[in-house]
C-alpha cells in the first residue's frame, strides 16, 4: 500500500488494486499498484509491471474514446499514476457482454436463461457471440462481492434515474463498439468489459480504467470460428487464466479456502501475460519502467502544480 501525503490531500482510499488520493475535494491521484485480486480477494504476491500495464492501457483507451463521452482523466505524470476529476460515482458497474463467457457462461451452464433481467437464447455454446451485445449491470459493493442487478432494480432502488440510465446505456454500448473496433485492428475480439461512470453536476463522466485486462476479456480473432466449431478452448487474453488456476486449486474466495502458493515462476508467467496483453491491445512495445517512490511523488506534485491544482 502506498501512503503518499501530497500537498492539499484531503483523503486516501486503498482499493483492491489501486490507491486513490483526493486533492482538495475535486481531484484524484490514482495509483495503479502491482497488487492482483481475484474473487474479490487480494492475492498475496504482487505482479511486476501490472500497475504500469493497467494505467497505460487505460490512458490509451480513455484518449481513444473521449469523443464518445467525457472522461475523468487529465494527466498521466508517471507510468502507474493518473490524475483526474473527482466524480460522484454511480453505485453500479455497467458490464457489457458480446460473448457468452465467464460469469455469463457459468450462469447459463447452471440452466438459467436470464442474467440481470436480460433473456438469453437457448442453444448457445460457451464463447458464442450474442446476437447483440447485452448490458448486465452489477452493484458496486463497498465491501464483499459485487451482485448482479437488473435495470428495473436499479431504477426501483434509485441507483440511477431513468434519464441517467438512458445515457449510461447509450455510452456503454458506444464505448463497447469502439473497444471492439480497436481490438479487431489488433487481431482481437473484445468479449466483455465493464465501465464505471460518475457525475460532476449534471454531466456524466466515464471513470476508472477502460478496456484493460482487469476489466475486460479478449479473444484472439484468428481461428476463433474454427475453434468454436470444433469445440476447442478459445485463446484469450485476460486475467481469467488466474481465476482458472485458482479454481483448479480449489480457491474461489469462499470462507475457509486458502490461496494456493504463488511461485516465482508463476508470478513471472502472470507478469508476461499482462505485458503481452498491453502489446496486443495497444499495438505498441511495452517499455518497463522502474521508478522510486520519490520519483513518483515528485512527478505527481509537478503535474498538480502545472494543472494549478496546488
Q: Within 10 A of 161 (CB to CB), how many other CB atoms are there?
A: 11
Residue 94 CA to residue 92 CA, distance in Å, equals 6
Q: Is residue 247 part of a domain?
A: no
Residue 195 has pLDDT above 70, yes or no: yes
Q: Is residue 94 part of a domain?
A: yes
Kind and range of the H or E run holding 97? strand 92-99
* Phi and psi, residue 214, nearest 5°: -85, -25
Q: Is residue 280 part of a domain?
A: no
Residue 142 has pLDDT above 90, yes or no: no
Residue 19 has pLDDT above 70, yes or no: yes
CB burial of 172-195 (b: ≥16 within 10 Å; e: otherwise) equals bbebbebbbebbeeeebbbbbbbb
Taking only the tens place, the pLDDT of each residue in 72-123 is 999 999 999 999 999 999 999 999 999 999 899 999 999 999 999 999 999 9
Q: Is residue 300 part of a domain?
A: no
Mean pLDDT of 26-48: 95
Give the chain's mean pLDDT: 95
Q: Is residue 175 part of a domain?
A: yes
The pTM of this model reads: 0.92
Mean pLDDT of 28-37: 96
Q: Are 94 and 197 in contact (CB under 8 A)?
A: yes
CATH number where 150 lies:
3.30.470.20
Q: Is residue 259 part of a domain?
A: no
Q: Is residue 222 part of a domain?
A: yes
**14: which strand partners?**
19
* Chain CA centroid to CA 43, Å: 17
pLDDT band at residue 213 using 50, 70 and 90 as cut-offs: confident
Cα pseudo-dihedral 68, 94, 91, 87, rounded to 10:
-20
Domain that holds residue 130: 89-237
Number of folded domains in the chain?
A: 1
pLDDT band at residue 144 using 50, 70 and 90 as cut-offs: low
Q: Are 50 and 239 in contact (CB under 8 A)?
A: no
Handedness of CA 139, 82, 43, 5 (dihedral sign): negative
| Bridging pattern class, strands 188-200 and 216-220 | antiparallel
Three-state DSSP class for 256?
Answer: coil
Residue 99 CA to residue 96 CA, distance in Å, equals 9
Residue 257 has pLDDT above 70, yes or no: yes
Q: Is residue 155 part of a domain?
A: yes
Smallest Cα–Cα separation from 42: which of 81, 8, 14? Answer: 14
Taking only the tens place, the pLDDT of each residue in 215-242 is 999 999 999 999 999 999 998 888 888 9
**217: which strand partners?**
192
Mean pLDDT of 255-267: 95
Residue 162 has pLDDT above 70, yes or no: yes
Residue whose C-alpha cell reads 453536476 in the numeric block: 201
pLDDT band at residue 40 using 50, 70 and 90 as cut-offs: confident
Mean pLDDT of 259-270: 96
Amino acid at each position: 500500500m502506498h501512503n503518499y501525503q501530497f500537498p492539499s490531500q484531503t483523503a486516501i482510499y486503498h482499493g483492491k488494486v489501486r490507491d486513490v488520493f483526493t486533492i482538495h475535494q475535486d481531484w484524484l491521484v490514482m495509483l495503479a499498484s502491482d497488487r492482483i485480486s481475484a474473487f474479490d480477494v487480494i492475492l498475496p504476491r504482487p505482479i511486476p509491471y501490472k500497475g504500469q500495464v493497467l494505467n497505460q492501457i487505460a490512458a490509451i483507451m480513455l484518449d481513444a474514446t473521449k469523443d464518445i463521452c467525457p472522461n475523468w482523466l487529465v494527466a498521466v505524470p508517471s507510468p502507474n499514476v493518473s490524475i483526474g476529476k473527482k466524480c460522484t460515482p454511480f453505485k453500479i458497474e455497467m458490464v457489457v457482454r458480446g460473448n457468452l463467457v465467464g460469469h455469463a457462461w457459468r450462469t447459463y451452464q447452471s440452466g438459467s436463461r436470464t442474467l440481470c433481467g436480460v433473456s438469453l437464447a437457448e442453444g448457445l455454446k460457451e464463447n458464442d457471440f450474442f446476437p447483440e451485445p447485452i448490458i448486465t449491470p452489477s452493484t458496486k459493493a463497498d465491501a464483499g462481492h459485487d451482485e448482479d442487478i437488473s435495470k428495473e432494480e436499479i431504477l426501483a432502488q434509485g441507483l440511477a434515474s431513468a434519464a441517467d440510465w438512458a445515457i449510461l446505456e447509450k455510452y456503454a454500448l458506444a464505448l463497447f463498439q469502439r473497444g471492439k473496433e480497436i481490438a479487431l485492428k489488433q487481431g482481437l475480439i473484445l468479449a466483455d468489459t465493464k465501465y464505471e461512470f460518475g457525475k460532476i453536476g449534471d454531466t456524466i463522466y466515464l471513470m476508472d480504467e477502460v478496456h484493460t485486462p482487469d476489466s475486460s476479456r479478449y479473444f484472439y480473432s484468428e481461428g476463433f470460428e474454427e475453434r468454436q466449431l470444433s469445440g476447442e478452448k478459445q485463446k484469450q487474453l485476460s486475467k481469467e487464466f488466474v481465476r482458472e488456476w485458482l479454481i483448479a486449486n480449489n480457491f474461489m474466495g469462499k470462507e475457509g479456502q486458502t490461496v494456493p502458493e504463488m511461485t516465482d515462476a508463476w508470478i513471472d508467467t502472470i507478469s508476461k501475460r499482462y505485458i503481452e496483453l498491453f502489446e496486443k491491445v495497444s499495438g505498441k512495445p511495452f517499455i518497463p519502467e522502474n521508478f522510486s517512490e520519490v520519483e513518483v511523488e515528485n512527478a505527481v506534485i509537478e503535474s498538480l502544480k502545472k494543472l494549478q491544482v496546488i
